[in-house]
Amino acid sequence: VIIANKNGVIWKHSCNLGVSKLLDKFTPNNPITANELATIEDYFEEDLQLLFEAVAKHPVTTLIGSSGSFDTLSAMIAAQHFPLLDPYKLTTCHISMSHFHELHHRFLASTLQERVDMKRMDPQRVELIVLASMFINFVIKRCGITQMWQCAFALKEGAVLNIINKSSIFNK
């Protein structure tokens, strides 16, 4: 998780909350139960304390997500609301909060097979998307996020750019 502005990185921390790890830890029912939802949100609350302290010092309103789950969210929203748009050709995509919440509630109420059948659902995300959506929704609520964007570039592209910018080999 990174808090940044136009001047650069303000705060960063690596959380041990990858959706694959969450799935191994919780393995929720399909659809997820209210008790499971509460247990997982309690876990988020405990594990994200450093983020909440940082947000208290450096308030944020925009969430930018990259890769996997965010790519799937933007593709699914595009399929439903903008059928002529190919989100895979964009480097960034605005995810409206209402569209996200609509999809989030569909995920929470869905079975595994219903998610398999959802238009533009990435097959690799079928089991992970409920937990990913829960995590995103939790951060939105807890941090006061009002805008969300999906970025097609991932951490690896940022790491490569950082190496290029710092390397004397590329600065000759």
pLDDT confidence band for 156 (50 / 70 / 90): low
Least confident of 13-27, 45-59, 67-81, 155-169: 155-169
* pTM, rounded to two decimals: 0.88
Token pair in block for residue 30 = 């399909």
* Average pLDDT of the residues of the chain: 90
pLDDT in tens, 68-127: 899 999 999 999 999 888 877 888 889 999 999 999 999 999 999 999 999 999 999 999
Given this model, what pLDDT does residue 160 score?
Answer: 60
Tell me the C-alpha distance between 95 and 74, whole Å: 6
The identity of residue 4, as a single letter, is A
- Residue 107 to residue 133: CA distance in whole angstroms: 8
Report, as an integer, the average pLDDT of 156-164. 60
